[in-house]
Amino acid sequence: MLATPAAERRLSAARTALLALLAERAPGTSLCPSEVARRLAGPEGDWRAKMAAVHAAVDILAQEGVIGLSWKGRPMAMRRGPYRIARR
């Protein structure tokens, strides 16, 4: 199934925001996916509505090997439950 242009724009924005946040962080640090959603939503926006696009971007970037996922210091092969995002 092909994504709609609007869905592609949301995915692209989530990917861009995620990579920008990681670039702002010191090496070896991680971020919560909700931080990406909050950046997308802005100060007064509904960040929870952005989470689907963030999760989709995370899945793609993890599959491409661009980012790594972990929870409580343990690496994760794929997104499941709570997780943190870091550069590879």
The region that residue 61 occupies, defined by phi over 0 for left and psi between -120 and 50 for alpha, beta otherwise, is alpha
Per-residue pLDDT band for 2 (boundaries 50, 70, 90) equals low
**Amino acid type, 75:** P
**Average pLDDT of span 23-40:** 96
**Average pLDDT of span 17-37:** 96
Three-state SS at 70: strand
Q: Is 14 exposed, middle or buried (0-12, 13-18, 19+ CB in 10 A)?
A: buried
**Average pLDDT of span 36-52:** 96
**Average pLDDT of span 24-50:** 96
What pTM value is reported for the model? 0.92
Assign a CATH topology to domain 5-87. Arc Repressor Mutant, subunit A (1.10.10)
Please count the helices (runs of H) and the strands (runs of E) in the chain. 3, 4
